[in-house]
Chain A
Amino acid sequence: MEPINLSEKITTDILRPVGITKSFKIWMTALLVAFGICIYAYTLQLRNGLGVTGLRDYISWGMYIANFVFFVASSLIGMLISAVLGLSGAKWITPIARIAEIIALAFASVAGLVIISDMGRPERLPNVFIYGRIQSPILWDVTVVTTYVVISALLLYLPLIPDLAICSRRMDTPPWLRKIYRLMSLGWSGTPEQTAMIQKCTRILLILIVPVALAIHTVTSWLFAATPRAGWNSSVFGPYFVSGAFVAGAAAVIIAMYFFRRNYKLHDYITDSHFDKMGKLLVLVSLVYLYFNINEFLVPGYKLEKAEAKYLHEIFAGRYAVLFWSAQLLGVIIPIILLLIKSVRKPLPMMIIAAFVLAASWIKRLLIVVPTQEHPFLPIQYVPQNFKFYTPTLTETLITLASIILVLIIVTILSKFFPVIPIEETINELKHGDK
Chain B
Amino acid sequence: MEDKEKPKTSRRKFLENLGLLGTGALAASAAVYSGYHYEHSKNKTGRKIKVLTADNQLAEVDAGSLTISGKPTLTALQMRGREGIKHRRWVMIIDLSKCRNARKCIAACQEAHHLRPEQYHINTLQMQESEKTAPFFMPKPCQHCDNPPCVSVCPVDATFKRPDGPVLIDNERCIGCRFCIAACPYSARSFNWIEPKFANQDKGKTYDVELNVPQKKGTITKCLFSSDRIREGKLPYCVSACPNGVYYFGDENEDAVTNGTTKETVRLSKLLRDNGGYRLMEELGTKPRVYYLPPKNRLFPFPEEGNIIEKEG
Contacts and interface: CB of A to CB of B under 8 A. Distances in A.
A58 interface: yes
Interface string B92-120: 00000000000000000000000000111
A384 B218 CA distance: 20
A120 B176 contact: yes
- Chain A at the B interface: mostly helix, strand, loop or mixed? loop
A179 B209 CA distance: 57
B179 interface: yes
Contact of A120 (B124, B154, B178, B187): B178
B126 A381 contact: yes
A413 B275 CA distance: 70
A376 B181 CA distance: 11
A391 interface: no
A54 to B, nearest CB: 10
Contacts of B140: 378
Given A379-B312, A387-B118, A127 B156 contact: yes
Contacts of B153: 135-138, 226-227
Interface string A108-123: 0000000000111110
Contacts of B299: none
Nearest to A227: B183
B284 A124 contact: no
Nearest to A386: B118
Nearest to B190: A57
B152 A135 contact: yes
Contacts of B218: 49-50, 119-121
Given A121-B218, A124-B175, A133-B155, A60 B182 contact: yes
A302 interface: no
B218 to A, nearest CB: 3
A133 B174 contact: no
Nearest to A310: B313
Contact of A124 (B173, B183, B185): B173
B102 to A, nearest CB: 13
B82 to A, nearest CB: 12
A377 B281 contact: yes
A131 interface: yes
Contacts of A118: 177-178
Interface size band for A:
35 or more
Interface in A127-141: 127-128, 130-133, 135-139
B175 A379 contact: no
Nearest to A124: B175
A124 B177 CA distance: 11
B186 interface: yes
Given A378-B140, A379-B127, A136 B194 contact: no
B175 A376 contact: no
Contacts of A136: 152-155, 179
A205 interface: no
A378 B175 contact: no
B206 to A, nearest CB: 19
Contact of B125 (A49, A124, A379): A379
Most buried by B among A51, A56, A142, A378: A378
Interface string A57-69: 1101100000000
Nearest to B129: A306
Contacts of B124: 382
Interface string B110-152: 0000000011100111110000000000001000000001001
A68 B257 CA distance: 47
Contact of A51 (B120, B157, B189, B193): B193
Contact of A128 (B175, B189, B191, B195): B175
Interface in A371-397: 373, 376-384, 387
A376 B284 CA distance: 14
Contact of A133 (B125, B157, B219): B157
B309 interface: yes
B287 interface: no
Given A124-B173, A136-B152, A49 B217 contact: yes
Contacts of A120: 174-178, 191-192, 217-219
Contacts of A127: 156, 158, 173, 175
Nearest to B153: A136
Nearest to B217: A49
13 contacts: A57-B191, A61-B178, A118-B177, A119-B175, A119-B177, A120-B175, A131-B173, A137-B153, A229-B183, A380-B310, A381-B126, A382-B125, A384-B118
Interface of B: 118-120, 123-127, 140, 149, 152-158, 173-179, 181-183, 185-187, 189-195, 217-219, 281, 284, 286, 309-312
Please provide the 9 A-B residue pairs with the shortest distance between their CB atoms, ordered closest to farther. Answer: A120-B176, A120-B218, A51-B194, A51-B193, A138-B155, A136-B155, A121-B218, A227-B183, A131-B156
